[in-house]
């Protein structure tokens, strides 16, 4: 049985806060067990890293101004999106989809206004290197707790051809980002030929039911009962390469 255990008592995170220590203090009373997965929102990591940007400090380029007119978006925000991206994938009025420098495709390069600051011009960038942060956080917590723990850093993304956002993994440590099930037998003994499971995304999506999207105030969830191979993967392995991306 899978359990989703909300991590309580985490304060509003500020730049330079010792987030690993804060998370350790919050989960220790929950008696974490070896094999648990700690899912942490990308937002509190970005806040600890000081990834805030005030749009008043951004001077948009001609390209950003032109794209802002086409998308009906603030050209200062468009400029910031372009700086965080390697290419524009699609755009339309109110929509700007790009390939982030980390490798995934998403709206607005993952730049967020919600739950960021009282100043409407302040936005928050994604963590600079979520996979690296996940590995460092895992090492810190495992050493402190003397147990085996996996980490998933979750963000909210939309999907091609479907409405609505869902939780996805942008940082992973201690479990496969994608688990290969090819060769496993099905109910009738036939071997699976093409099945690869987006394990980290599934965990992030399940945890997002508890993390929420608005004023829930739960930035971390302890997930218990996930069975997986012991391969240590990454979020980077989930991202489809450009030459295999039919929607680029």
Q: Are residues 135 and 15 in the same domain?
A: yes
Give the C-alpha distances (Å, rounded to integers) separating 190 from 182, 186, 195, 229.
Answer: 11, 5, 12, 21
Read off the CATH number of the domain in which 8 is found: 3.30.1330.100
Q: For 106-144, write each residue's pLDDT tens digit.
A: 999 999 887 777 788 999 999 999 999 999 999 999 999
Q: Are residues 109 and 132 in the same domain?
A: no
Q: Are residues 185 and 229 in the same domain?
A: yes
Q: Are residues 130 and 213 in the same domain?
A: yes
Query: Model's pTM, two decimal places?
Result: 0.91
Q: Is 162 left (phi over 0), alpha (psi -120 to 50) or beta?
A: beta
Residue 127 to residue 48: CA distance in whole angstroms: 9
How far, in whole angstroms, is CA 149 from its chain's centroid?
18
Q: Are residues 148 and 236 in the same domain?
A: yes
Residues 6+ apart with CB under 8 A from 227: none
Q: For 152-203, write each residue's pLDDT tens digit.
A: 999 999 888 888 989 999 999 999 998 765 556 666 566 555 667 789 999 9
Please give the residue range of the domain that contains residue 106: 53-123
């Amino acid at each position: 049985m899978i359990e989703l255990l909300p991590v309580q008592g985490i304060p509003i995170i500020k730049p330079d806060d010792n987030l690993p220590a804060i998370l350790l203090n919050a989960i220790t009373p929950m008696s974490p067990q070896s094999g648990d997965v700690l899912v942490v929102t990308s937002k509190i990591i970005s806040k600890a890293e000081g990834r805030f940007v005030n749009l008043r400090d951004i001077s948009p380029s001609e390209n950003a101004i032109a794209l802002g007119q086409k998308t009906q978006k603030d050209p200062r925000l468009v400029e910031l999106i372009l700086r965080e991206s390697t290419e524009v994938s699609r755009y339309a009025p109110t929509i700007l989809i790009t390939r982030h420098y980390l490798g995934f495709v998403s709206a607005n390069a993952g730049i967020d206004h919600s739950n960021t600051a009282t100043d409407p011009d302040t936005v928050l960038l994604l963590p600079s290197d979520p996979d690296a942060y996940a590995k460092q956080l895992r090492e810190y917590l495992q050493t402190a707790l003397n147990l085996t723990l996996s980490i998933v850093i979750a963000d909210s993304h939309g999907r091609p051809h479907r409405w609505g956002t869902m939780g996805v993994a942008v940082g992973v440590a201690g479990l496969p980002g994608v688990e290969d099930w090819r060769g496993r037998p099905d109910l009738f003994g036939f071997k699976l030929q093409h099945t690869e499971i987006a394990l980290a995304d599934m965990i992030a999506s399940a945890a997002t039911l508890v993390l929420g999207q608005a004023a829930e105030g739960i930035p971390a969830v302890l997930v218990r009962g996930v069975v997986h191979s012991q391969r240590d993967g990454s979020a980077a392995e989930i991202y489809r390469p450009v030459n295999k991306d039919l929607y680029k």
